[in-house]
Amino acid sequence: MSSEAIARPSMEPELILPSRGRVGMFSLIAAESAIFTIFVVAYIFYIGKSVSGPTPKDVLELPIFATVCLLSSSLTIHLAVKALRDAKIRAFGTWWFITILLGGIFLAGTGREWQRMIFEKGLTISTNLFGTTYYSLVGLHAFHVTVGLIILTLGMIFTLLGYVKQEHSERAEVFSLYWHFVDVVWVIVFTVVYIIGR
């Protein structure tokens, strides 16, 4: 700034501040990442440390279909947000609904897997270390999927009642950040639990 200026300097570049929703969501995602990191570290630390069976090799099967569903739901929610930004409410509703469907399929897949493991293989959270770490890590992720599905369903209800307008696209986008995060976490959980840990 010139030291000659006496009046207040005019025309400073205007301050452009980021959106509150995005910053808030990114902060929440950072906090969630830290929580997941601790659970993942515990999982990796305890791989192969169980003193009794069953082991991951005995009971785990790759949940390929559920994984494909969850990962593609990232794409569908992206398309939904894009549609809303272009004020195409009907397309938004359709993509949003498909997202719920894909998320639901994933959750059902986890449920079936757990049912099979608990009732057929006899692995519960208290059976051994593998059970403890497996159910808590996958369960923590499934909990986040559930929360996401509840919010998605609320959004769907509002869409069907006709409350959702183009101006809500930023909110939808902020939520989609959460949903993408849940997907990314699944990639890590999948790698750690089903590939490294098996």
What residues make contact with other proteins under the rule CB under 8 A?
1, 3, 5, 8-9, 12, 14-15, 17-20, 23-24, 27-28, 30-39, 42, 45-46, 49-52, 125-126, 128-129, 132-133, 136, 140
Q: What is the DSSP string of 127-181?
A: T-HHHHHHHHHHHHHHHHHHHHHHHHHHHHHHHHTT---GGGHHHHHHHHHHHHH
Is the CB of 21 or the CB of 104 nearer to other proteins?
21
Give dist(CA 145, CA 184) in Å, integer.
12
* Spatial distance between the Cα atoms of 78 and 192, rounded to a whole number of angstroms: 26
Q: In this structure, what token pair is assigned to residue 104? A: 């639901």
Which residue's CB is nearer to other proteins, number 65 or number 119?
A: 119
Tell me which H or E stretch contains 194.
Answer: none
Least Å from the CB of residue 15 to other proteins: 6
3-class DSSP assignment, residue 51: coil
> Measured from the CB of residue 88, what is the shortest distance to other proteins in angstroms?
29
In the complex with other proteins, which residue's Cβ is closer, 87 or 125?
A: 125
Shortest Cβ 36–other proteins spacing (Å): 8
Q: Tally Cβ neighbours within 10 Å of residue 40.
A: 20
With respect to other proteins, which residue has the nearer C-beta, 69 or 137? 137
What is d(CA 85, CA 167) in angstroms, rounded to the nearest whole number?
A: 8
- Structure token pair of residue 8: 């207040």
Nearer to other proteins, 102 or 137 (CB): 137
How far apart are CB 26 and other proteins at their closest, in Å?
9
Smallest gap, in angstroms, from Cβ of residue 33 to other proteins? 8
Considering the complex, what minimum distance in angstroms separates the CB of residue 179 from other proteins? 18
Q: How far apart are CA 185 and CA 89, in angstroms?
A: 29
Q: Which is nearer to other proteins, 50 or 94 (CB)?
A: 50
